[in-house]
Amino acid sequence: MEIKLWINNKLFQDNVEADMLLIDYVRSKGFLSVKRGCETANCGLCTVHLDGKPVLSCSTLVIKANGKRVTTLEGLKEEAEEFGAFMADQGAEQCGFCSPGFVMNVLAMKKELENPTEDEIKHYLAGNLCRCTGYMSQLRAIKNFLEAKKED
């Protein structure tokens, strides 16, 4: 199947198998921030933005991205580093397993929700698995980040 899509604003056109997953395609193009964690769509590690909305690339066929824009962590470098600093300040990055998914989802949430409540934040991040913490440090980092962004 012929596809045409943009990854981090760079155009890609290819012939792909109908059952190829978005994670495999993106990684084959060198965007290695997108990682396999569980392969069951339960951990959030493979999160990318598809036309600005977070999706799990391990359970999304690449054909669904045809004609669309895919954004990976590499495409959000400055924003990701900024939020990463908030995570580090709260001790929320311990092993780093969950960080890519958290970052991708928080940056999407920031654009989608204005002044989210704690329950809205938790709901938005429900698909992110953290193996180290009780999520409290991530929640503090997210709240601090969103508060700081309001002041910008």
Class of CATH domain 2-74: alpha beta
Report pLDDT digits (tens) over 32-77: 999 988 878 888 999 999 999 999 999 999 999 999 999 999 999 9
Report pLDDT digits (tens) over 97-108: 888 888 999 999
For the entire predicted model, the pTM comes to 0.91
Q: How far is CA 52 from the centre of its chain?
A: 10
Could you tell me the fold of the domain covering 76-151? DNA polymerase; domain 1 (1.10.150)
CA distance 110 to 116: 9
Instruction: For residue 148, give both structure tokens.
Output: 């700081």
Q: Which residue ranges make up each domain of the chain? A: 2-74, 76-151
